[in-house]
Amino acid sequence: MLNRKELSKEIKKKASELGFHSCGISKAELLTKDTEHLKKWLAQNHHAEMAYMNNHFEKRIDPRELVENAKSVISVLLNYYPEKNIPEEDNFKISKYAYGKDYHFVIKEMLGKLLTFVEQKTEKRIARMFVDSAPVLDRIWAHKSGLGWIGKNTCLITKDQGSFFFIGEIILDLDLFYDHEITDYCGSCTKCLNACPTNALIAPYRLDSRKCISYLTIENKNNIRDQFKNTFQDWIFGCDICQDVCPWNSKSIPTTLLDFRPSNELLTMRKSDWKEIDNKKFNILFKLSAVKRTKLEGLKRNIRFVSE
C-alpha cells in the first residue's frame, strides 16, 4: 500500500496521462472563509435568477455534506483554448468553451478513469465526481488545491497558461497528501474590469451576474433588458471579454483534444446564417454542445437582441 504522499503523486501522474492539464488535492472541510463571501453575494442578488445558487447551501460550503465520510477533494483542470477562433468578420460570437463537445461528457468520462485508478490502488471508495453539476464551488476547490488563484474577473487563473480551463472534482473517503493555495498574481492590473462593456465586474473579485453577458445570454430565461442595447459586441452565447484581455492568457496553449475543436459547419457560419438558423441547423451545429443549454429560442432571442 502506498503512503498518502506517494499515492497522491501517483494520482496526479495518472491525471496527466489521461490528458488533464493539472491536478491538485485539498482536504474536504468546511469552507469557513468563503461562507461569508457567498452569503453576501447571494444577499445582494448578484446571482440574478440563478435560484439554484441559494439551494443546498450547507452542501455548497462543506463537501462532507455531499459525500459520506469525505476526506479529500481531487481537483483537475482541462484546457479548452482553441487552436483557431471562429472568424469574427461579419459574424456573431460564442464563448470558446462552447466551440466543441459539451465538456460535461468529456470530463466525466476522464474522471471516471481517474477514480477507477484510485480504486485499483486502494479499494472501492465512497466517492462522487462533479463537473459543474452539483452544489460544489469549483473555483474555490481548485484554488485550495494550488491549481491557480481566483482573479479580479472571478475566473480561476493559472500562472503557466491563464484561465481557459474546465474544472472537475472527485470527492472521496480517502486521506491524501494536501496541496496549498497559491499567491494571487493579479497585482494592480484592472484590464478585465475596464473591458467589461456592461460593467458586470462591479469591483475587483466581484461579479454582478445581472449585468453579465454570459448570464444574460445563457442562464437568463427572460427578455434582455433594453439598458444593455449596443453593449454585447456581437456575443450571442456567453462572453470571453474579461478573459481575452487578461495578460495571463497570452500564455494560453491550444488544447490537443479534438472534442473541443469547432466543426467546419460552425467555422463557416456568418451573420446571415445565424439569423436564418432553424431547428434542423441548430441540431447539426450543436448536437452535443453546451449551446443546447439555451435552446434554439434562447439563441434566436440573443441574435435578435444584438441585431436590432
Annotated catalytic residues are: 132
User: What is the grid cell recorded at 105?
Assistant: 461528457
In angstroms, rounded to a whole number, what is the distance separating the alpha carbons of residues 12 and 6? 10
In Å, what is the CA distance from 188 to each residue of 139, 146, 160, 245? 21, 22, 19, 14
Beta-strand relationship, 149-150 and 72-79:
unpaired
Decide if 174 contacts 72 (C-beta within 8 A).
Answer: yes
Decide if 92 contacts 194 (C-beta within 8 A).
Answer: no
User: What is the grid cell recorded at 243?
Assistant: 478573459
Task: Please name the residues in contact with 17: beta carbons below 8 A apart, sequence gap of 6 or more.
Answer: none
Q: What angle do CA 8, 130, 14 make, to 5 degrees?
A: 30
What is the SS3 string spanning 118-171? HHHHCCCCCEEEECCCCCCCHHHHHHHCCCCEECCCCCEEECCCECCEEEEEEE
In Å, what is the CA distance from 217 to each residue of 26, 71, 101? 34, 38, 19
Decide if 308 contacts 230 (C-beta within 8 A).
Answer: no
